[in-house]
Amino acid sequence: MNRPISQALIIFGASGDLTKRKLIPSLYKLFIQKSLPENFILIGASRTVFTDEQFRTKSTEFLQEEDQNSIEEFKKIIHYQPVQPDNIEDYQKLKGRIDTLCEKKNIEKNLIFYLSTPPALYTIIPKNLAEVGLNKEEGHFSRLIVEKPFGTDLESALKLNQELLSNFEEHQIYRIDHYLGKETVQNLLVLRFANAIFEPIWNRNFIERVEITSAESLGVEKRGGYYDKSGALRDMIQNHLLQLVGLLAMEPPVEVEADAIRNETLKVFKAFAPFTSDEQIKNNVVRGQYISSRIKNEEIKGYRQEEGVDENSRTETFAAIKFYINNWRWSNVPFYIRTGKKLPTRVSEMVIHFKNSPHHLFSGGKELPQINNQLIIRIQPDEGILMKFGMKEPGSGFVTKPVNMNFHYNTLSEKELPSAYQRLLLDCMIGDATLYARGDSVIEAWKFVKPIQEYWKKSDAPIFGYPAGTWGPHEADNLIEGDEQTWRYPCKNLSNDGYYCEL
Ligand SMILES: NC(=O)C1=CN([C@@H]2O[C@H](COP(=O)(O)OP(=O)(O)OC[C@H]3O[C@@H](n4cnc5c(N)ncnc54)[C@H](OP(=O)(O)O)[C@@H]3O)[C@@H](O)[C@H]2O)C=CC1
Ligand SMILES: O=C1O[C@H](COP(=O)(O)O)[C@@H](O)[C@H](O)[C@H]1O
Neighbours of 281 (CB within 10 A): 18
Instruction: Quickly count helices (H) and strands (E) in the chain.
Output: 16, 17
What is the Å distance from ligand 2's center to 78 Cα?
27
Alpha carbon of 70 to those of 63, 65, 77, 80, 390: distances in Å? 10, 11, 12, 20, 52
Specify the length of the chain in residues.
503
Choice from 175, 212, 236 to test ligand 2 binding pocket (greatest atom count within 8 A of CB): 236
Quick one: which of 334, 331, 332, 380 has its CA closest to 353? 334
ipTM over 0.90: yes
Give the C-alpha separation, 59 to 249, whole Å.
40
What is the Å distance from ligand 1's center to 44 Cα?
13
- Give the nearest ligand 2 atom to 240 CA: 1
Give the C-alpha separation, 384 to 361, whole Å.
31
What is the Å distance from ligand 2's center to 123 Cα?
24
Extract the runs of DSSP E, i.e. beta strands, from 249-325.
285-291, 293-295, 298-300, 318-323
Could you please report the per-residue DSSP string of 192-247? HHH-TTTGGGSSTTTEEEEEEEEE-SS--TT-HHHHHHH-HIIIIIIIIIHHHHHH
Question: What kind and span of H or E run contains 156?
Answer: helix 154-165
Closest ligand to residue 317's CA = 2
Give the C-alpha separation, 20 to 298, whole Å.
32
Strand order in the sheet with 111-115: 78-82, 40-46, 7-12, 111-115, 142-146, 173-175
Choice from 212, 235, 379 to test ligand 2 binding pocket (greatest atom count within 8 A of CB): 235
Neighbours of 95 (CB within 10 A): 16
State the pLDDT at residue 493: 41
What is the model's pTM? 0.93
Helices (H), 67-120: 68-75, 88-104
Alpha carbon of 463 to those of 221, 279, 453: distances in Å? 21, 15, 13
Neighbours of 172 (CB within 10 A): 20
What is the Å distance from ligand 2's center to 342 Cα?
13
- Give the nearest ligand 2 atom to 179 CA: 8
Q: CA angle 75-425-126, nearest 5°? A: 95
State the pLDDT at residue 495: 34
State the pLDDT at residue 170: 95
Question: What kind and span of H or E run contains 448?
Answer: helix 439-456
User: Any idea which residues carry the catalytic annotation?
Assistant: 240
User: Is 118 a pocket residue for ligand 1 (Cβ < 6 Å)?
Assistant: yes
Give the C-alpha separation, 112 to 132, whole Å.
15
Residue of the nearest CA to atom 2 in ligand 1? 18
Residue of the nearest CA to atom 21 in ligand 1? 13
Contact 41/74 with Cβ under 8 angstroms? Answer: no
Q: For residue 318, what is the DSSP state?
A: E
Contact 142/160 with Cβ under 8 angstroms? Answer: no
Q: Which residues of 196-212 are buried (b: 16+ CB within 10 A; e: fewer)?
A: eeeeeebeeeebbbbbb
Residues in CB range of 177: below 8 A, 6 or more apart: 148, 239, 240, 243, 435, 436, 437
What is the Å distance from ligand 1's center to 16 Cα?
5
Residue of the nearest CA to atom 12 in ligand 2? 216
What is the Å distance from ligand 2's center to 418 Cα?
17
Region of 365 (left: φ > 0; alpha: ψ -120 to 50; beta: rest) is left
Cα dihedral across residues 450, 453, 459, 460: positive or negative: positive
Structure confidence by residue, pLDDT tens digits, 27-68: 999 999 999 999 999 999 999 999 999 999 999 998 877 789
Give the C-alpha separation, 42 to 27, whole Å.
9
Could you please report the per-residue DSSP string of 350-418? EEEEEPPPSS-TTSTTS-PPPP--EEEEEEESS-EEEEEEEEEPSSSS--EEEEEEEEEGGGS-SSPPP
State the pLDDT at residue 137: 77
User: Is 235 a pocket residue for ligand 2 (Cβ < 6 Å)?
Assistant: yes
Quick one: which of 350, 378, 329, 373 has its CA closest to 210? 350
Residue of the nearest CA to atom 4 in ligand 2? 236
- Give the nearest ligand 2 atom to 341 CA: 12
What is the Å distance from ligand 2's center to 179 Cα?
9
Closest ligand to residue 215's CA = 2
Q: Give, for all 503 residues of the chain, the pLDDT tens digit.
A: 789 999 999 999 999 999 999 999 999 999 999 999 999 999 999 999 999 999 999 999 988 777 899 999 999 999 999 999 999 999 999 999 999 999 999 999 999 999 999 999 999 999 999 999 999 978 999 999 999 999 999 999 999 999 999 999 999 999 999 999 998 888 999 999 999 999 999 999 999 999 999 999 999 988 999 999 999 999 999 999 999 999 999 999 999 999 999 999 999 999 999 999 999 999 999 999 999 998 778 899 999 999 999 999 999 999 999 999 999 999 999 999 999 999 988 999 999 999 988 877 776 656 555 678 999 999 998 889 999 988 888 888 888 888 899 999 888 887 788 899 999 999 999 999 999 999 999 999 999 999 999 999 999 999 999 999 899 999 999 999 776 778 888 764 433 333 333 32
- Give the nearest ligand 2 atom to 379 CA: 10
User: Is 46 a pocket residue for ligand 1 (Cβ < 6 Å)?
Assistant: yes
Give the C-alpha separation, 453 to 461, whole Å.
11
User: Is 216 a pocket residue for ligand 2 (Cβ < 6 Å)?
Assistant: yes
User: Is 348 a pocket residue for ligand 1 (Cβ < 6 Å)?
Assistant: no
Choice from 18, 81, 121, 148 to test ligand 1 binding pocket (greatest atom count within 8 A of CB): 18
Alpha carbon of 123 to those of 117, 130, 134, 166: distances in Å? 11, 11, 15, 10
